[in-house]
Amino acid sequence: MTSQPVPPRETSGGHPTSSAAGTRLDPWLTSYAERTHGMRSSEIRALFAVANRPEVVSLAGGMPFLEGLPLDVLGDIAQRVVATRGLQALQYGSGQGDETLREQILDLMRLEGIEAHPDDVVVTTGSQQALDLVTRIFIDPGDVVVAEAPSYVGALGVFRAYQADVAHVPIDADGLVPEALESTLASLAAAGRTVKLLYTVPNFHNPAGVSMSEERRPRVLEIARRYGVLVVEDNPYGLLGFDSEPRDAIRSLDEDGVVYLGSFSKTFAPGYRVGWVVAPHAVREKLVLASESAILCPSNASQIAISTYLSTCDWRGQIKSYREQYRERRDAMISALAEHLPEASWNVPAGGFYTWVRLPDGLDAKDMLPRAVTARVAYVPGTAFYFDGSGSEHLRLSFCYPTPERIREGVRRLAGVVAGEKEL
């Protein structure tokens, strides 16, 4: 066996010392894999530390309003799960996920017109892990992911981590614009780029709050199919419409061209960290292998707790009550914007957690953020939701967590900051 000589590395006490490219702050700087170079700390994470201070009204995070959950009942379930099924719940489990839960997930997805088999479902540690797995099995460095402009910050982070390029496609009040998708895919093809995935949040978009119209769904699917691009349909908010029944999922139109991502985080509780993927057969096998190498198996304790909740509690009633609470908060936010910030523009979301605001007079939401935090209100600047950091004239406001009263106070503070900006 031959081996290439490895150049000696300067070491001291077993650690590499700082070199020309290294630094004393991080002696491992020159060792990191290339794929880490695009990783950066999420603007949301940096914000959480300040935004969580009680005096700050946080319109930043997407945390569900868990006070609406029956915590005593969930406590009983947790106790019962360990007492009666502890040897299973606390043991390793299947890499694909608990079979009973996978069957129950089918009931949820039927509300969006999806007919699938339990074998098509892979349970994941939140849909964030599903995003990671899908990206991991499809993306080589330099491959392109087409995504809405703007897009969920956590998905952009995953795409960066796997060294994808992201091509943004505009959205309007009816979601992704099919003509823009077509022309983007045509020019990427003409440039010889390899486009692997179309990432979309079709319902109550994070951060834009809009939904893809029913009329556009088959058109988007047809365009993606024609260009050989797999659709990744990320749908954590679909059951949280305020005034209407859930729309049929894109996956309900096509079994082979769509990978569907679901989650219990917004309709139940994110702390269990349970989400799922529905994927075509061959894709699903690769997802299970990738998931086993990442985490061995999703948490049995969480899955059994959720499964017991679904079979013994009124989960439909819980979702209805969430929808009512979020509708009231949405109304508070929209009326406060109309009262205090009439010179800005925003959309009125019909579900979900977020409003997307455009600041007046070319103001820069990222520049303004430190002054907003000083004024005790937090939001996420639009730049977080664009791969190239554009979008500074926008900001995302979440209405999911604070009470209506706090939301009104937060918007009032924000309006004060905007007024101050104009005088700067």
- Residue numbers at the binding site for ligand PMP (CB under 6 A): 62, 126-128, 152, 154, 201, 206, 234, 236, 263, 265, 270, 275
Residue nearest to ligand PMP (CB): 126
**Which of these, 317, 223, 245, 310, lies nearest to 272 by C-alpha position?**
310
Residue closer to ligand PMP by CB (options 44, 89) is: 44
Find the shortest distance in angstroms from Cβ 38 to ligand PMP: 19
CA separation for the pair 381, 374 (Å, rounded): 15
CA separation for the pair 62, 54 (Å, rounded): 17
Contact assessment for residue 59 and residue 398, using Cβ atoms and an 8 Å cutoff: yes
Residue closer to ligand PMP by CB (options 128, 291) is: 128
Find the shortest distance in angstroms from Cβ 52 to ligand PMP: 16
Find the shortest distance in angstroms from Cβ 272 to ligand PMP: 9
Tokens of 409: 């106070």
Find the shortest distance in angstroms from Cβ 236 to ligand PMP: 5
Residue closer to ligand PMP by CB (options 97, 275) is: 275
Find the shortest distance in angstroms from Cβ 253 to ligand PMP: 20
Ranges of beta strands (E only) in 56-174 are 57-58, 121-124, 144-149, 165-172
Find the shortest distance in angstroms from Cβ 400 to ligand PMP: 10
Residue closer to ligand PMP by CB (options 112, 421) is: 112
Residue closer to ligand PMP by CB (options 354, 418) is: 354
Give 75-79 contacts, CB < 8 A, sequence gap 24+.
77/305, 77/308, 77/309, 77/312, 77/313, 78/305
Residue closer to ligand PMP by CB (options 206, 302) is: 206
Contact assessment for residue 341 and residue 410, using Cβ atoms and an 8 Å cutoff: no
| Distance from chain centroid for Cα 223 | 24
Sign for the CA dihedral angle at 170, 279, 319, 220 comes to: positive
